[in-house]
Amino acid sequence: MRRYVGAFEDYSFEAERLTDLGSGAVLAVVTETARGKTSGVPVRRSYAVLYGVLDGRITRITLFSSEDDALAAIVPD
């Protein structure tokens, strides 16, 4: 993660929404913004993070390109 963030200047991320899905699952919709350290190109992207939580501790982190993809992973069609 340090290497990834280190490639940018002015890196920040914000949890736009947190949803308790029950059974130890929490969904975060995140937006990150930055500027390429070498290129200066601005970056803005949103993605979803599914956290597994057990006894108040994060036990698993899974990244998804969208909220829909994250929800589909836990509630298949």
Question: Rounded distance, CA 56 to CA 7, Å?
Answer: 32
We report the CATH number of the domain holding residue 30 as 3.10.450.50
Tokens 């991320």, located at residue: 13
First-to-last C-alpha distance (Å) of the chain: 33
pTM listed for this prediction = 0.82
Q: Given this model, what pLDDT does residue 77 score?
A: 54
Q: How many domains does the chain have?
A: 1
Q: Would residue 42 count as lying in a domain?
A: yes
Joined tokens for residue 42: 């601005």
Six-digit token string for 6: 């280190």
Edge-first strand listing for the sheet containing 57-64: 8-22, 25-36, 42-54, 57-64
Residue 77 in domain? no
- The one-digit pLDDT tens for each residue of the chain (77 residues) are 899 999 999 999 999 999 999 999 999 999 999 999 999 999 999 999 999 999 999 999 999 999 999 999 887 65
> Minimal CA–CA distance to 33: which of 25, 41, 23?
41
Q: Which domain holds residue 22?
A: 2-72
